Amino acid sequence: MTTVTRPHVTQVRPPELVDMALSGRIRLPSFQRSYRWRREDVVKLFDSILRGYPIGDLLMWSRPAGSAELTIGPLTLDVPATPEALWVIDGQQRITSLVGALAAPPDTVDPRFRIFFDLRTESFVSAGQRDDVPDHWFPLPTALSNSRTLSWQRERPWLAEQDFSRCDELVTAIRDYPIPMYVVKADDEQTLREIFDRLNNFGRRLRRAEIFNALHTVSGQMKPSGLASLAESISGFGYGEVPEQVLMQSVLAVRGGRIDRDFRAEFQHDRDRHESFQLAEKSLGTAIEFLRDEVGIPHLRLLPYMLFLPVLVRFAALFGYPEGRAAELLRRWVWRGSVLGVTPQGNTVALRKNASAVGDDPIESADRLLKLLPSGREWLPDLRATKLNQARAKVNLLGMLSVRPRILVSGEGDDGRTFSVGDPIDPVRLLDGPTSPLIPIVESGTELGGGVANRLVHPSTLTRADIDRALDGPTAVNGEVLLSHFIDSTAMECRRRGDHQGFLALRARRIATTIIDHVQEGALFGFPDGPDITQLLEPGELA
């Protein structure tokens, strides 16, 4: 009979988990999937801890582990060998979230680990690296240190007594929260398999095959560096699924040289591969944050050309997050390239030329990218384009989203969350599904019926009957909501008369004007490019 020691049951608290992870005692096996949680999952986890709700048990396998370079969330650690490491069998997502958020370094890009406690609303919030963090948001890593907590409070003399109380409650809740942990020592995997089957798991369950295929590789090796693993990590940024080809181009971009070279013989050894994939993941996060927050493209499905992403990844690897004049020029490059076409000589040639233009200096790099675009600035939106595999259709939808359309009919999305009439439409939720967010209003037999003038931006649960009820029924939505869909009182009068062509023509004019204005806001056609001329002047020359 196989010798099995009885599972040891104990409790571990979040600060202990952090210490154990930083010292290398906790190890994450090389699972076939990587960290999957989104920022809202991490926020809910800490909210459960604050409220004292159960978050589930941890299941660990006690085995030796060699020295290694480990990755846990935003942390990269060089840890020594240990005879009794605790390999995580169930609890990877929770441990990564807890350790990643509580030990996140200041330069963390991933918003899943930039978690704060809002003292005003008494709720947890996530922030991107470039988001403005209000002074009343308490950073979670501060909670693990008395001196840092007191320093944070002293720097804010305006804090009221209730703010101090909330800080104390938060710190106490995080430090004292008990998490049940089962530690198993077994000669074979059958015991673990049986225990795993009987445990009630928190969050997204792992399949047994995923766990026990990974157990064969528990030997202290570092997390594998592959495109599938990189894709899993990037998916947590909430920007959509990055195609494998673009991920491969991004890895090559951070390494320099021709971005279209053969990937198969690229790496000299495992460490070389690992370091490149780490840099690519960080640079992808920076590029995505720039596209979302500075350029105004909320989801990858709306990025007119995929070429933008690996080129911005190269820029991020060399210079970090785009700042100042370089950021302004890059924003112009994306928007001008979106409407003029950034690949006039084909994607491969354009990718090679654009990636090669990035180097030496951030402002000069951005200016060189602008000069690679086709000449001219004359363009008009193509309102016939509605399929999101077309750059023109993506530009149209970005313009329509710029007015922040609102929900017309209450319902439930594919993710199970509800939405109510008048709520702003969340672009990320809108685009995460496979269906088109452009919903036809009337039959498409009219001249404008096949274009965006005959489309509403709305979750796909909206039916033709819902539209008729929302626009014409006894509980029709108010004018402010209708205006967010380019429907004014004159257009509604046309609809009531049955003049669908007039209704669509009025919408077409409003939509076209909005798209043109939105593109110009980012592209700044007619404005001088190159370095900011004021930076070339000596102090006092502007006086």
Q: What is the pTM of this model?
A: 0.67
The pLDDT of residue 428 is 85
For residue 33, give both structure tokens.
């999937």
CA 461/CA 429 separation, integer angstroms: 13
The pLDDT of residue 220 is 38
**How do the domains of the chain map onto residue ranges?**
8-215, 227-371, 391-523
Q: Please state which of the ranges 191-195, 285-289, 291-295 shows the lowest mean pLDDT.
A: 191-195
Judged against a pLDDT cut of 90, whether residue 397 lies above it is answered with: yes
CA 215/CA 196 separation, integer angstroms: 13
Strands 26-27 and 82-90: parallel
The pLDDT of residue 298 is 92
CA 464/CA 475 separation, integer angstroms: 16
Q: What is the mean pLDDT of residues 401-422?
A: 78
Element (H, E) at 124: strand 123-126
Residue 122 — very low, low, confident or very high, per pLDDT cuts 50/70/90? Answer: very high
Q: Please state which of the ranges 55-69, 278-292, 378-392, 523-537 shows the lowest mean pLDDT.
A: 523-537
Judged against a pLDDT cut of 90, whether residue 173 lies above it is answered with: yes
Strands lying side by side in the sheet with 82-90? 8-12, 179-184, 58-65, 82-90, 26-27
Number of residues that make up the chain: 543
Judged against a pLDDT cut of 70, whether residue 187 lies above it is answered with: no
Task: Decide which of 112 and 211 is more confident.
Answer: 112
Q: Please state which of the ranges 68-82, 416-430, 492-506, 510-524 shows the lowest mean pLDDT.
A: 416-430
Asked whether the beta carbons of 31 and 92 are under 8 A apart, the reply is yes
pLDDT in tens, 205-252: 444 444 444 444 444 344 445 787 788 778 778 888 898 889 989 999
Q: Is 62 helix (H, G, I), strand (E, B) or coil?
A: strand
Residue 335 — very low, low, confident or very high, per pLDDT cuts 50/70/90? Answer: very high
Asked whether the beta carbons of 175 and 122 are under 8 A apart, the reply is no
The pLDDT of residue 197 is 55
The pLDDT of residue 132 is 82
Q: What is the mean pLDDT of residues 366-370?
A: 94
The pLDDT of residue 533 is 52
The pLDDT of residue 207 is 44
The pLDDT of residue 52 is 92
Single-letter amino acid, residue 77: L
Q: What is the mean pLDDT of residues 251-256?
A: 89
Q: Please state which of the ranges 225-234, 345-354, 399-408 shows the lowest mean pLDDT.
A: 225-234
Share of the chain above pLDDT 70, in %: 85
Asked whether the beta carbons of 163 and 136 are under 8 A apart, the reply is yes
Judged against a pLDDT cut of 60, whether residue 538 lies above it is answered with: no
Asked whether the beta carbons of 100 and 112 are under 8 A apart, the reply is yes
Judged against a pLDDT cut of 60, whether residue 199 lies above it is answered with: no
Residue 262 — very low, low, confident or very high, per pLDDT cuts 50/70/90? Answer: confident
For residue 354, give both structure tokens.
């654009």
Judged against a pLDDT cut of 90, whether residue 297 lies above it is answered with: yes
The pLDDT of residue 34 is 62
Residue 119 — very low, low, confident or very high, per pLDDT cuts 50/70/90? Answer: very high
* Mean pLDDT taken over the chain: 83
Q: Please state which of the ranges 79-93, 272-286, 401-415 shows the lowest mean pLDDT.
A: 401-415
Judged against a pLDDT cut of 80, whether residue 196 lies above it is answered with: no
Neighbours of 357 (CB within 10 A): 20
The pLDDT of residue 176 is 93
CA 116/CA 124 separation, integer angstroms: 6
The pLDDT of residue 216 is 41
CA 277/CA 191 separation, integer angstroms: 35
Q: Please state which of the ranges 9-18, 43-52, 389-398, 438-447 shows the lowest mean pLDDT.
A: 438-447
For residue 128, give both structure tokens.
């991107």
